[in-house]
Amino acid sequence: MRDDDAPALEAEVRALTTRELGQTLRFLLRARFLGAAVLVVLGALTVVGGPPGWQAGFMFVAAAAIAGVAAWDHRRLAGVEVRPADHAWLLGSVILIQTAIILPTGGAASPLQVAYVPVATLAGVGLGRHPYTFRVFGLALALVWIFAVLAASGLGPEPAPHLIGLVSEAAPRAPYVWAQAVMLSFAILVGGTFGMFHRGALDRAVRAAAVARREALSAIQARNREFHDLSHALAHELKNPLASIQGLAGLMARKLPEGSREAEQAGVILGEARRMGGIVDELSSFARPAQGLAVRPLVAERLAADLLTLHEGLASQRNVRLRLETEPGVPECRADDRKLTQVLVNLLQNALEATPAGGCVTLRVAPRPGGGVMFTVDDTGPGLAEEMRGRLFVAGATTKPTGNGLGLRIARAIAEQHGGTLRLDDRPGGGCRALLEVPPA
What does 343-356 look like in DSSP terms, one character per residue?
HHHHHHHHHHHHSP
Q: What is the CATH number of domain 296-438?
A: 3.30.565.10
How far apart are the C-alpha atoms of 13 and 19, rounded to whole Å? 10
Q: Which of 228-242, 261-275, 322-336 has the lowest mean pLDDT?
A: 228-242
Dihedral angle of Cα 321, 327, 331, 335, to the nearest 10 degrees:
-20
Angle at 20 between CA 18 and CA 21, to 5 degrees: 65
Q: What is the mean pLDDT of residues 247-276?
A: 77
DSSP secondary structure letter of residue 388: G
The conformational region for residue 79 under phi > 0 = left, psi -120 to 50 = alpha, else beta, is: left
Q: Cβ contacts of residue 396 below 8 Å, gap of 6+?
A: 404, 405, 406
Question: Could you tell me which of 200, 80, 207 has the C-alpha nearest to residue 130?
Answer: 200
Q: What is the mean pLDDT of residues 351-375?
A: 89
Most confident of 41-45, 176-180, 260-264: 176-180
Which pLDDT tens digit goes with each residue over 99-156?
Answer: 887 777 777 777 778 888 888 888 888 788 888 889 889 998 999 898 888 888 877 6
What is the percent of the chain with per-residue pLDDT over 90, rounded to a whole number? 9
Q: What is the mean pLDDT of residues 201-217?
A: 82
Most confident of 15-24, 211-220, 287-296, 392-401: 211-220
How far apart are the C-alpha atoms of 235 and 282, rounded to whole Å? 9
What single-letter amino acid sits at 230?
Answer: L
What ranges do the domains of the chain cover?
3-217, 229-287, 296-438
Whole-model pTM over 0.95: no
Burial of 176 (0-12, 13-18, 19+ CB in 10 A): middle
Mean pLDDT of the chain: 78
pLDDT at position 8 over 60: yes
pLDDT of residue 22: 65
pLDDT bin (cut points 50, 70, 90) of residue 379 is: very high
Q: What is the mean pLDDT of residues 62-79?
A: 76
Which pLDDT tens digit goes with each residue over 162-174?
Answer: 454 544 444 556 7
How far apart are the C-alpha atoms of 53 and 48, rounded to whole Å? 12
Per the model's pLDDT, the better-predicted residue between 348 and 59 turns out to be 348
End-to-end CA distance of the chain: 31
pLDDT at position 270 over 70: yes
pLDDT bin (cut points 50, 70, 90) of residue 67 is: confident
pLDDT of residue 376: 93
Per the model's pLDDT, the better-predicted residue between 37 and 111 turns out to be 37
Alpha-helix residue ranges (DSSP H) falling in 256-311: 261-287, 300-310
Q: What is the mean pLDDT of residues 297-317?
A: 87
Q: Which of 180-184, 240-244, 343-347 has the lowest mean pLDDT?
A: 240-244
Per the model's pLDDT, the better-predicted residue between 312 and 398 turns out to be 312
pLDDT of residue 167: 47
pLDDT of residue 377: 93
Q: What is the mean pLDDT of residues 28-49?
A: 74
Strand partners, 178: none
